[in-house]
């Protein structure tokens, strides 16, 4: 477990998408976040007190979280210098970048000298095995998407909290760096050796018999030419009873692939249901989450209503309108009842 409270790193970022890990912690573990660290050229804020390294350590911060996405996941000289400063101030350092903290000898030496720790959140477990797809007990929901970064993590967390608020046992199962930092555990599925994708998820959400739910954070999209393999292995390993489809309307192209249009909602859902049946024959779709942050409220409401009508599933923006309608749908159908959009 990574010791809190946290100092959240924004660095020199001027791209709101690039600070999504820091923002996720500020949003979902605010009570554990003591402040934010940013350089003078950073125009962004999470609304936390701005602090220097020494100041944060003095205020009780125990770990600096490098919660940003750098170009290519690199740990450049800026980041190393700031991480070193954090260690010198007496804080641990956590990061989820492709380049690992433990590969930087300067940081390793400093941490050893001060008795501090480096946390590479993207390190997968070492003893993974291949998935088997054998039916396992428990109720599982997976978020799937038209694309990367459309709100799957946010939706999964919102659904988890809504279930818990109704007194239903529910656990968020993290598959990406931000989710893992929020949950304190999880599997960074994109860093797993490809033979073990589904096996990693079978281990992340093992059989359970308390009638509670595992809500598994999806990744990528079956239609994304970079990451569809991860998405499919995750889907098979999750063996989900329920799918929630996530989308950001109005996106000009698939993330990172200029010129490639995003797929339609109905196609995405149908392809995911079809693929999910390999390990979960009774899988059903229970709702749609749209990230409507770029629309005004009336437009967003109209879009949700129209989508609901077109696909016959509750549709909401979890940030703006909550997820209660999806929870109603999720809980009102017995797990053994097949109900897909195809069979409507």
Residue with smaller CB distance to a second copy, 104 or 190: 190
276 contributes a contact to a second copy by CB under 8 A: no
Question: Which of 43, 52, 206, 225 contacts a second copy by CB under 8 A?
Answer: 225
Our finding on whether 279 is near a second copy (CB under 8 A) is: yes
Does position 232 bind a second copy by CB under 8 A? yes
Query: DSSP H helical segments within 59-99, as ranges?
Result: 77-88
Peptide bond into 5 cis (omega under 30): yes
Strand 118-120 versus strand 139-145 pairing type = unpaired
Q: Candidates 197, 238, 242, 326: give the one binding a second copy (CB under 8 A).
A: 197
Closer Cβ to a second copy, 160 or 268, answer by number: 268
Q: Please give the C-alpha separations between residue 189 and each of 30, 60, 198, 267, 300, in angstroms, as whole numbers.
A: 25, 32, 9, 24, 32
Sole residue written with tokens 């970079």 = 226
**Does 189 participate in binding a second copy (rule CB under 8 A)?**
yes
Q: What is the CA radius of gyration of the chain?
A: 20
Provide, rounded to whole angstroms, the least separation between the CB of residue 230 and a second copy. 5
Q: What is the dihedral of CA 302, 305, 310, 314, to 10 degrees?
A: 150
Nearer to a second copy among residue 114 and residue 251 (C-beta): 251
What is the helix (H) or strand (E) element at residue 20, kind and residue range? helix 20-28
Q: Does 227 bind a second copy (CB under 8 A)?
A: yes
C-alpha 38/C-alpha 3 separation (Å) is 21
Question: Rule CB under 8 A: is residue 243 a binding residue for a second copy?
Answer: no
- Nearer to a second copy among residue 41 and residue 126 (C-beta): 126
Within residues 83-142, the interface with a second copy by CB under 8 A covers 130-134
Pairwise CA distance, residues 169 & 222, whole Å? 30
Q: Which is nearer to a second copy, 18 or 53 (CB)?
A: 18
Stretch of residues binding a second copy (CB under 8 A), selected from 29-37, 42-50, 270-278, 296-304: 270-278
Q: What is the Cα–Cα distance from 164 to 8, expressed in whole angstroms? A: 27
Q: Is 264 in the site for a second copy (CB under 8 A)?
A: no
Indicate which single residue of 117, 164, 226, 282 sits in contact with a second copy (rule: CB under 8 A): 226
Bridge partners (DSSP) listed for residue 37: 9
Q: Yes or no: say if 158 and 218 are a contact pair by the CB < 8 Å rule.
A: no
Binding span for a second copy by CB under 8 A among 45-53, 59-67, 275-283, 315-323: 275-283
Quick check: 262 binds a second copy (CB under 8 A)? no
Residue 131 C-beta: closest distance to a second copy, Å: 5
Q: How far apart are CA 159 and CA 288, in angstroms?
A: 12
* Phi, psi of 145, rounded to the nearest 5 degrees: -140, 165
Residue 128 or 320 having the CB closest to a second copy: 128
Nearest to 147 by CA among 218, 214, 217, 200: 218
Selected from 229, 303, 328, 341, the binder of a second copy by CB under 8 A is 229
Scanning 9-17, 227-235, 292-300, 335-343 for contacts with a second copy by CB under 8 A, the matching segment is 227-235
Mind giving me the DSSP string for 44-81? ---SSPB--HHHHHHTT--EEEE----GGG---HHHHH
Dist. CA 141–CA 125, nearest whole Å: 23
End-to-end, the C-alpha distance of the chain in Å comes to: 45
- Binding mask 42-71 toward a second copy (x if CB under 8 A, else -) reads ------------------------------
CB closer to a second copy, 197 vs 304: 197
- Residue ranges in contact with a second copy by CB under 8 A: 130-134, 189-195, 197-199, 222-223, 225-234, 236-237, 256-257, 259-260, 271, 274-275, 278-279
């Amino acid at each position: 477990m990574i010791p809190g409270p946290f100092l959240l790193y924004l660095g020199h970022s001027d791209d709101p998408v690039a600070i999504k890990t820091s923002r996720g912690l500020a949003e979902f573990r605010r009570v554990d976040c003591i402040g934010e660290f940013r350089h003078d050229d950073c125009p962004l804020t999470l609304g936390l007190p701005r602090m220097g390294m020494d100041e944060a350590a003095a205020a009780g911060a125990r770990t600096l979280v490098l919660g940003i996405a750098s170009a290519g996941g690199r740990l450049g000289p800026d980041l190393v210098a700031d991480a070193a400063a954090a260690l010198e101030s007496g804080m641990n350092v956590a990061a989820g970048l492709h380049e690992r903290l433990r590969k930087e000898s300067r940081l390793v030496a400093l941490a050893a000298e001060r008795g501090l720790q480096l946390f590479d959140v993207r390190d997968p477990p070492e003893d993974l095995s291949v998935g088997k797809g054998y039916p396992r007990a428990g109720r599982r929901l997976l978020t799937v998407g038209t694309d990367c970064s459309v709100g799957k993590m946010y939706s999964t967390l919102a659904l988890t909290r809504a279930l818990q608020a109704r007194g239903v046992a529910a656990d968020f199962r993290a598959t990406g760096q931000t989710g893992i930092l929020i949950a304190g555990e999880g599997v960074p599925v994109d860093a797993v050796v490809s033979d073990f994708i589904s096996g990693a998820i079978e281990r992340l959400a093992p059989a359970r018999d308390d009638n509670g739910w595992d809500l598994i954070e999806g990744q990528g999209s079956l239609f994304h030419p970079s990451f569809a393999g991860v998405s499919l292995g995750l889907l098979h390993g999750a063996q989900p009873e329920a799918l929630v489809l996530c989308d950001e309307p109005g996106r000009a192209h698939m993330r990172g692939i200029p010129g490639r249009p995003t797929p339609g909602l109905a196609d995405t859902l149908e392809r995911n249901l079809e693929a999910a049946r390999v390990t979960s024959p009774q899988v059903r779709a229970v709702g749609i989450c749209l990230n409507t942050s770029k629309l005004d409220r009336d437009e967003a409401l109209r879009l949700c209503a129209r989508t609901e009508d077109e696909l016959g599933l509750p549709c909401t923006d979890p940030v703006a309108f909550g997820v209660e309608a999806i929870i109603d749908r999720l809980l009102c159908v017995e797990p053994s009842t097949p109900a897909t959009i195809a069979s409507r």
